[in-house]
């Protein structure tokens, strides 16, 4: 874009750098500065606008601090990605090098592309200043102790805050039933290391979180998929599986399930707990998205209905608050917690006390309450925009799940469509999604795709669905033609 | 102690809270306020001194910020432990619940006890204010990006700083040959998960780092011990072992070996690399303490002599800088790094970018250079004090290693002495050490013990050795008596 026409008024009373930042922000919103594009060197822009270089640098710094741009050392300043992935920031891979996710990440980073492929929250909502105050406050209060080795179980104050948060959700656990971990991914990894040996069977929902599939596969587990419908895991399929296959674990995401967004029905929860208790199989509840409720209070964890033992509960601050801090927690029977703590100690000794203390402090602030409200409202509006534009743009024969919370939903295309093929076409249209096979415990989900809406603005969502609608219709026509002529048509080259 | 006699002068020009802090500090130094003891409630002390409660609180806060006291939420303020362990801050256990380390930690926390058992650096040396400035600077510069999901490989700027630091040590590695991990313990864990299956053989030095033993045992490895003498691993024992047992890894700590503190001789390094290259067995170099050199520049890493591949190098910021941040790094062949990165992603996605960016910033500051100088000088003096007082206090027949860096040394007692028995007696005298069996790949090291000096003041070291000397002499007499009468004498009861 031509940035030389930005009007700056020296007498307006608003500092020049603020005027410039506002103008750049507007250019981003209107698509004249697309995602991933590089801002001009500050020296060049200053010269062409006739202002000091410092004015431009101040404007850029404000955009970076607000998450609207990002500074890459030695490379310049770039318009921040919206929602998608970034190369190098990938979900756990299925194999050592996962070509699928890496390709998605590269495509998501292309200028002008709208990505509904990643599961990242919107960093533009993060309030940096209040969190910095929390860091300063705990460093002033606890000093060097926060930089020293800390307890493997977790920082005392953070454990207290967690216990009180979980109680509010209906989960009454004592300190000795809690363990702080480095994100719920680590919680799941520790559980897998304790319970799974190569060849052991593990029940998973199908589809499910790709990071869990990657982990269980890496551990050499045999995956036993149980389908998910609009009411969550189809528990009826579970009972015979438990007696026949004697799995070591049942892994479930009962609240705002990833990738479908559905929530498990109360009757199924009750049945699931009964069946697993009778069979003596531990349930692992991944409640990563459980607090991201849009339409009502967050649902009760499954673990709340399970008495003191039986369910190993995983929570995280990554979805509602700051994923980069890698703070998660496990709530379970105290004997299980002691064993997980021993593995945690061997894995990485402990999670940084500084971040735990700062998070404990931040969670008690007004800024945190405001953030939670803003996040829920914002993602809820995006969910609405996505459901609405899917309704407008998708042709007949396409259906999708209707989440009441979380960050994603699943779209079902006619069974003869391959979303792997569709993806090439969609990228050509300028939109990226995650093909269903990435979330499938067994192949055969190639006609499904996942859309995430956490980090994408409503106008981008609408435009993204216009583009996806075009790609789907073209693919339906192409697929019909292929079925008719029996000949494959090559997708456009996309390296 | 009676704190009511602290003289405070209202007209001295020094604020009352500073006078109070100075007086409390003196009481700690003189042993009138021993380690682990609780400071009076601020309300009580304020009343008895006739000052405002705020004055006492300010004094306590200054001690806490300086690492001289620690605040336990809901429990009060305590005189900070010196060096030892704290319950809940344990090395990785040998088993799920390790009674040995837990007991050591409990004993180390007793008021008045001098602990040379833990491997913690001295938090009182940590400069909190400059590190807080680094945190503030990177948050201002990079903003919300530091709170968002980050790259599994590591934060770009931190990787750059690491590469340049390693180059200064003689290790020339590109960005694609580096991986940021959550402490070197995680680096070792990732390596073990990639290379070791249950039943696989692993060569370890004997003695070696207890956290490595715990990890390898948990992974089901068969340990192949190679002895360590004053010149490091006795490499002559290695060659036949490699051909006979076909181990998956050789794990070594060539620089300032933990627990002995010895450094591997150049000729042995050369031979080790030749033998392992010929046998095609990867070497894992744990350089955790490598930068803690007192008498000369830090020794070159083993990996520097190994060309581009062959050695997997583990580093950490835990010994020279701040262990609580859990920042470590792996340098290896780029293919190995890619595989380790994939496991890292499954284990915990990534290490917090905020801490990496802050550390990268801090490592370029004057405060960091001053800290490194202060740490080396301080631990060097403590090493000197320990060697000197061992010479003065130990009876004939006792010998010990002479480290030129690192945090520990090993004491050898006559072979018929059990340091497990000795420990009970030493605790009775008010000094704690770590028995040799905790570092032994096979039993039979019960006559050895490890002493750490990183977190203990020189006067404490001297007093600790007076106490240990008494315990050793008593044990030698008792053991002689037992041998003579053939009857065991019960140690004093120590619960």
Q: What is the pLDDT of residue B60?
A: 85
Contact A475, A409 (CB under 8 A): no
**A8 domain-assigned:** no
- How distant is the Cα of B183 from the closest Cα of chain A, in angstroms? 6
Domain end, chosen from A345, A366, A387, is at A366
Q: What is the pLDDT of residue A401?
A: 98
**A351 domain-assigned:** yes
**B8 domain-assigned:** no
**A94 domain-assigned:** no
In the predicted model, is pLDDT for residue A488 greater than 50? no
**Same structural domain for residues B115 and B136?**
no
Q: What is the pLDDT of residue A312?
A: 97
pLDDT confidence of A282, banded at 50, 70, 90? very high
**Same structural domain for residues B150 and B187?**
yes
Residues from chain B that touch A157, judged by Cβ atoms under 8 A, are 73
Rounded CA gap, A476 and A480, in Å?
6
Among residues 312-371 of chain B, which lie with CB inside 8 Å of chain A?
318, 322-326, 338-339, 342-343, 345-355
| Residue B441 contacts A, CB cutoff 8 Å | no
In the predicted model, is pLDDT for residue A82 greater than 70? no
pLDDT (tens digit, 9 = 90+) per residue, B16-56?
Answer: 888 898 888 888 777 677 766 788 888 888 888 888 888 88
**Same structural domain for residues A356 and A214?**
yes
**A92 domain-assigned:** no
Helix (H) or strand (E) holding B320: none
- How distant is the Cα of B129 from the closest Cα of chain A, in angstroms? 9
Among residues 134-163 of chain A, which lie with CB inside 8 Å of chain B?
135-136, 139-153, 156-157, 160
Rounded CA gap, A303 and A329, in Å?
14
Q: What is the pLDDT of residue B346?
A: 94
Structure-model confidence comparison of residues B295 and A79, the more confident one: B295
Q: What is the pLDDT of residue A83?
A: 40
Interchain pair B141, A64: CB under 8 A: yes
DSSP alpha helix (H) spans, B295-450? 334-348, 353-363, 366-393, 419-429
**Same structural domain for residues A324 and A401?**
no
**Same structural domain for residues A260 and A303?**
yes
Contact B67, A145 (CB under 8 A): yes
Rounded CA gap, A463 and A199, in Å?
46
Strand A431-432 vs strand A114-115: parallel, antiparallel, or unpaired?
parallel
Q: CA A214, A219, A222, A224 torsion: positive or negative?
A: negative
CA B192 to chain centre: 21
B412 token code pair: 């050898």
**Same structural domain for residues A139 and A64?**
no
**A69 domain-assigned:** yes
Nearest to B426 by CA among B478, B487, B385: B478
Q: Is the pTM of this model over 0.95?
A: no
Nearest to A302 by CA among A344, A254, A342: A254
Residue written as tokens 């790709």?
Answer: A210
| Residue A194 contacts B, CB cutoff 8 Å | no
**Domain with A449 in it:** 99-125+369-485
| Residue A489 contacts B, CB cutoff 8 Å | no
| B202 contact partners, CB below 8 Å, separation of at least 6 | B196, B216, B221, B222, B223, B224, B247, B248, B249, B250, B251
**B163 domain-assigned:** yes
Select from A121, A126, A185 the Cβ nearest to the Cβ of B349. A185
Interchain pair B151, A95: CB under 8 A: no
In the predicted model, is pLDDT for residue B74 greater than 50? yes
Select from A64, A89, A318 the Cβ nearest to the Cβ of B142. A64
Interchain pair B214, A345: CB under 8 A: yes
In the predicted model, is pLDDT for residue B357 greater than 90? yes
- How distant is the Cα of A458 from the closest Cα of chain B, in angstroms? 20
Q: What is the pLDDT of residue A44?
A: 87
Residue A268 DSSP SS3: helix
Rounded CA gap, A125 and A367, in Å?
11
**Same structural domain for residues A319 and A434?**
no
Nearest residue of A to residue B86, measured between CA atoms:
A151
**Same structural domain for residues A244 and A208?**
yes
Helix (H) or strand (E) holding A184: helix A184-195
Give the pLDDT mean for B217-225. Answer: 94
Q: Residue A403 belongs to a domain with what CATH number?
A: 3.90.1150.10
pLDDT confidence of B425, banded at 50, 70, 90? very high
| Residue B199 contacts A, CB cutoff 8 Å | no
pLDDT confidence of A179, banded at 50, 70, 90? very high
- Tell me: cis bond preceding B321? Omega within 30 of 0 counts: no
In the predicted model, is pLDDT for residue A311 greater than 60? yes
**Same structural domain for residues A136 and A68?**
no
**A10 domain-assigned:** no
**Same structural domain for residues A387 and A362?**
no
| B108 contact partners, CB below 8 Å, separation of at least 6 | B81, B84, B85, B86, B115, B117, B118, B432
Domain end, chosen from A346, A366, A386, is at A366
Q: What is the pLDDT of residue B478?
A: 83
DSSP alpha helix (H) spans, A364-457? 366-393, 419-429
Nearest residue of A to residue B184, measured between CA atoms:
A348
Rounded CA gap, A335 and A201, in Å?
23
Q: What is the pLDDT of residue B99?
A: 63
Q: Give percent above pLDDT 90 in chain B.
A: 67
State phi, psi for A285 to the nearest 5 degrees. Answer: -100, 115
**Same structural domain for residues A438 and A407?**
yes
Rounded CA gap, B21 and B19, in Å?
6
Rounded CA gap, A38 and A45, in Å?
12
Q: Residue A33 belongs to a domain with what CATH number?
A: 1.10.10.10
Nearest residue of A to residue B140, measured between CA atoms:
A65
Residues from chain A that touch B348, judged by Cβ atoms under 8 A, are 181-183, 185-186, 189, 326, 348
Select from A73, A98, A132 the Cβ nearest to the Cβ of B139. A132
Contact A184, A161 (CB under 8 A): no
Rounded CA gap, B335 and B481, in Å?
61
Residues from chain B that touch A185, judged by Cβ atoms under 8 A, are 346-349
Domain total in chain B: 3
In the predicted model, is pLDDT for residue B91 greater than 60? no
DSSP state of A189: H
Q: If phi over 0 gives left and psi between -120 and 50 gives alpha, with beta otherwise, what is residue B261?
A: left
Give the pLDDT mean for A99-109. Answer: 84
Q: What is the pLDDT of residue A479?
A: 67
Residues from chain A that touch B88, judged by Cβ atoms under 8 A, are 151-153
Residues from chain B that touch A218, judged by Cβ atoms under 8 A, are 343, 346
Count of beta carbons in the 10 Å neighbourhood of residue A470: 17
Q: Residue B360 belongs to a domain with what CATH number?
A: 3.40.640.10
Q: Please report the DSSP string for B332-344 in residue order.
A: --HHHHHHHHHHH
In the predicted model, is pLDDT for residue B67 greater than 70? no
Give the pLDDT mean for A347-367. Answer: 97
**Same structural domain for residues A359 and A373?**
no
Query: What's the mean pLDDT when you consider all of chain B?
Result: 89
Q: Please report the DSSP string for A127-142 in residue order.
A: -HHHHHHHHHHHHHHH
Nearest residue of A to residue B156, measured between CA atoms:
A73
Residue written as tokens 């994100």?
Answer: A183
Domain end, chosen from B365, B382, B398, is at B365
């Amino acid at each position: 874009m031509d940035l030389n026409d930005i009007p700056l008024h020296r007498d307006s009373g608003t500092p020049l750098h603020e005027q410039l930042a506002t103008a750049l922000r507007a250019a981003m919103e209107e698509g004249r500065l697309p995602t991933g594009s590089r801002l001009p060197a500050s020296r060049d822009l200053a010269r062409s606008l006739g202002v000091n270089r410092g004015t431009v640098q101040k404007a850029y710094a404000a955009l970076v601090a607000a998450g609207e741009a990002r500074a890459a050392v030695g490379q310049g300043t770039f318009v921040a990605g919206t929602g998608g992935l970034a190369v190098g920031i990938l979900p756990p891979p299925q194999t050592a090098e996962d070509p699928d996710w890496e390709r998605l990440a590269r495509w998501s980073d292309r200028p002008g592309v709208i990505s509904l492929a990643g599961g990242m929250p919107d960093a533009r909502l993060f309030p940096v200043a209040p969190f910095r105050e929390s860091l300063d406050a705990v460093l002033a209060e606890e000093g060097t102790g926060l930089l020293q080795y800390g307890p493997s179980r977790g920082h005392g104050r953070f454990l207290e805050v967690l216990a009180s948060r979980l109680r509010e959700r209906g989960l009454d656990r004592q300190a000795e039933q809690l363990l702080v971990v480095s994100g719920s991914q680590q919680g799941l990894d520790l559980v897998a290391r304790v319970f799974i040996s190569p060849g052991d069977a593990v029940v998973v929902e199908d589809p499910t979180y790709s990071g869990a599939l990657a982990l269980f596969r890496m551990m050499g587990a045999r995956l036993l998929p149980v389908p998910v419908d609009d009411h969550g895991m189809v528990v009826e399929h579970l009972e015979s599986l438990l007696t026949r296959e004697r799995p070591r674990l049942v892994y479930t995401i009962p609240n705002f399930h990833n990738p479908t967004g559905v929530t498990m029905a109360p009757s199924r929860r009750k049945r699931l707990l009964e069946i697993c208790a009778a069979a003596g199989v531990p349930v692992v509840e991944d409640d990563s998205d459980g607090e991201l409720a849009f339409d009502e209070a967050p649902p009760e964890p499954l673990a709340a209905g399970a008495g003191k033992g039986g369910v190993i509960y995983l929570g995280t601050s990554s979805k509602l608050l700051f994923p980069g801090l890698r703070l998660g927690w496990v709530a379970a029977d105290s004997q299980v917690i002691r064993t997980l703590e021993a593995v945690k100690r061997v894995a990485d000794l402990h999670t940084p006390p500084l971040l735990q203390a700062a998070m404990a402090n931040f969670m008690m602030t007004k800024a945190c309450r405001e953030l939670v409200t803003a996040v829920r409202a914002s993602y809820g509006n995006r969910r609405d925009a996505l459901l609405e534009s899917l309704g407008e743009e998708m042709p007949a024969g396409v259906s999708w799940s209707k989440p009441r919370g979380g960050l994603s939903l699943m779209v079902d295309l006619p069974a003869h469509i391959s979303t792997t093929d569709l993806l090439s076409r969609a990228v050509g249209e300028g939109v990226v999604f995650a093909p269903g096979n990435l979330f499938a415990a067994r192949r055969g989900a190639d006609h499904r795709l996942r859309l995430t809406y956490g980090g994408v603005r409503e106008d981008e969502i609408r435009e993204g669905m216009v583009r996806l609608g075009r790609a789907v219709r073209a693919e339906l026509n192409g697929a019909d033609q292929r079925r008719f002529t029996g000949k494959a048509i090559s997708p456009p080259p996309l390296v």
